[in-house]
Structure 1
């Protein structure tokens, strides 16, 4: 029951801080319909959690879990609404102040969702039939502690997500368009504890960007160069490098790469975001519906690792209405926020006229040498 108390108090505190942050924005920004809608969602959740009584029984916990689940689903609209509000208010605040506000509120949001989903997952584990002294849990269950997958294998995730993104690209560009192969090298047996949906989202965004850039560079009559992914394992972290030959990042985008304002292309991003009702920032939003008419030409369909339970999903729902070629301009900034939350990092180096090298550093969760300064600062806000 202490876990319930902790989850509720932490979420309550974080919501209070974010409401305060929105109240300190210029009035003309707060009255924006999108940001105002987010404010109302946060205030509603704050009032709901404020009325939660001390949890003393399993029935109390079940009611608390229902409240958490409903709140998580209701808040799936937060990211697209915030993004649209930021784009519409771009000229009403300094870009650096707006990006600081977005980074703070998104980091806090990730923290709240992690705490809430972990509590739901642990409750589900407690209620499982095998959660008894003499019962033997299935292998897939022993590989998870709540939402944390204990043996996350980088190469398996990259291969599986590469297939997903390739299928996505086939739907967007047509089955006759040649796609770049994904070549893996390095420490392919590296494993580490991580929240699978977070890693899937980051890898999915990096691979999608590389495949799109390579395809749109239009290698007419030439072999499409592969996307090279290198995995490097060190004592405290794992580094994943994604290298493509897609021509690099356009000069008008490069200064705004990590910004939520998106510079000169904000109007196109606004139009796209208007088509997105919900966003959980998970790989499900990148997945195209599998189709036998559009098989991936460069990657075989990989089987899931025997230790990965396909039912081990978060409460975050997918975006079934999102067209496969819809670009939102949120992938890289969100991916960096996710990486930094777990004491990692995400950096991109663009070689104009050639391609991009992306470096994702993943801290091994649970390692005694793990550096949690960044995450501690996020949890404190």
Structure 2
């Protein structure tokens, strides 16, 4: 962040994020060496605090980037966002993994000497789900996105069905919240596009194809929502550029915190404090710490999804057929086996 021009660092949003990271560094460097379990528990309290405080990073960064383009080019802003967000993912994954492993260590089944065949640690290693089922996650995301679109557009609007095909029994190790975020964003975009084009008419289904290979899994999402407007298509993967800059800036102002998880597509709860405590993991990216209406478009879903996919040596591509619809291709690398692209990961982590 210190490589940005001084005028960019004086932006209130960029300055807010800078102070958050500086404060986190001060907290962490004051933590004494961890020698006992009690020391580790105190360290975990610091990690939880940092994770919670940094939920404002993504929306504030996105707003700052949109506001500093008089002094920093759009291309440079995109490079800055991509680099910083990849680094952010690294830090949060390491922190959340440490918290999850600590929680497992403290769990009653860990030392009971009566470990069952279905003990939780057989399914998870920290935050990593060893048997992540593509079909189950797709169905969960489809149900959530469909329900939220129905709430946003009213009971008279017909919601397209999600039709699954291909290798429906595919499983692979992955962090579920990351995959849910990507799939959730793709479904939200496809369902809204179909609904806005067809209205109350019977909409064509959204087809999802799961393809399993030795090194990776490919998920294709195909809709008939009319495709993407020509004026938007060149800026699809950009945080900073595009014709809807002012509208995105206005919408981002309504999203105070963002963990980048599918749960955040939910409608705002009546009691924000209660919502914080109902997350799957307190202080984790899995927690429902922020919500936004599904029709509130902030313009960072697709570029964020691509960063998540590429961080784990995968990819996300989108092909628009003007006047017809879109095909999105998500490639997921099978993590933890000999085919993992370690050189790519090493380059990404060296930030």
Which residue number corresponds to residue 216 of structure 1? 196
1:43-122 map, 5 Å: 43-122=22-101
Provide closer, same or farther for how the CA distance between residues 327 and 191 of structure 1 changes in structure 2, counting only shifts above 3 A: same
**Aligned CA-pair RMSD:** 1.7
Q: Is structure 2 residue 241 aligned with structure 1 residue 271?
A: no
Describe the superposition over 1:304-334 as per-residue Cα deviations: whole angstroms up to 9, x where unpaired: xxxxxx9567613325552231111010000
Q: Is structure 2 residue 193 aligned with structure 1 residue 226?
A: no
Picking from 313, 323, 326, the partner of 1:343 is 313
Which residue number corresponds to residue 160 of structure 2? 180
How far the C-alpha of 1:218 sits from its partner, in A, is 2.4
1:297-312 map, 5 Å: 311=280
Which residue number corresponds to residue 273 of structure 2? none
Q: Is structure 2 residue 240 aligned with structure 1 residue 261?
A: yes
Q: Is structure 2 residue 135 aligned with structure 1 residue 166?
A: no
Which residue number corresponds to residue 218 of structure 2? 239
Which residue number corresponds to residue 274 of structure 2? none
Q: Is structure 2 residue 119 aligned with structure 1 residue 149?
A: no
Which residue number corresponds to residue 203 of structure 1? 183
SS at match of 1:264: coil
Provide closer, same or farther for how the CA distance between residues 263 and 289 of structure 1 changes in structure 2, counting only shifts above 3 A: closer
| Contact 2:78–2:239 under 8 Å retained in 1 | yes
Provide closer, same or farther for how the CA distance between residues 186 and 196 of structure 1 changes in structure 2, counting only shifts above 3 A: same
Structure 2 Cα separation of the partners of residues 155 and 321 of structure 1: 25
Picking from 363, 367, 370, the partner of 2:333 is 363
| Contact 2:158–2:200 under 8 Å retained in 1 | no
Structure 2 Cα separation of the partners of residues 220 and 60 of structure 1: 59
Which residue number corresponds to residue 6 of structure 1? none
Which residue number corresponds to residue 3 of structure 2? 24
| Contact 2:257–2:290 under 8 Å retained in 1 | no
Q: Which runs of 5+ in 1 are unaligned?
A: 1-21, 291-309
Structure 1 Cα separation of the partners of residues 266 and 167 of structure 2: 27
| Contact 1:272–1:328 under 8 Å retained in 2 | yes
Q: Which runs of 5+ in 2 are unaligned?
A: 270-278
Aligned length, in residue pairs = 340
Q: Is structure 2 residue 322 aligned with structure 1 residue 352?
A: yes
SS at match of 1:315: coil
How far the C-alpha of 1:160 sits from its partner, in A, is 1.1
Structure 2 Cα separation of the partners of residues 106 and 173 of structure 1: 32
Which residue number corresponds to residue 307 of structure 1? none
Structure 2 Cα separation of the partners of residues 208 and 324 of structure 1: 8
Structure 2 Cα separation of the partners of residues 273 and 312 of structure 1: 25
Provide closer, same or farther for how the CA distance between residues 226 and 313 of structure 1 changes in structure 2, counting only shifts above 3 A: farther
* Bigger mean CA deviation after superposition, 97-106 or 46-55: 46-55
| Contact 1:197–1:282 under 8 Å retained in 2 | yes
Structure 2 Cα separation of the partners of residues 242 and 24 of structure 1: 39
Structure 1 Cα separation of the partners of residues 289 and 229 of structure 2: 28
SS at match of 1:35: helix
SS at match of 1:70: helix
The TM-score with structure 2 as length reference comes to: 0.93
| Contact 1:86–1:261 under 8 Å retained in 2 | yes
| Contact 1:29–1:35 under 8 Å retained in 2 | yes
Structure 1 Cα separation of the partners of residues 301 and 289 of structure 2: 14
Structure 1 Cα separation of the partners of residues 28 and 289 of structure 2: 27
Which residue number corresponds to residue 315 of structure 1? 284
How far the C-alpha of 1:53 sits from its partner, in A, is 1.6
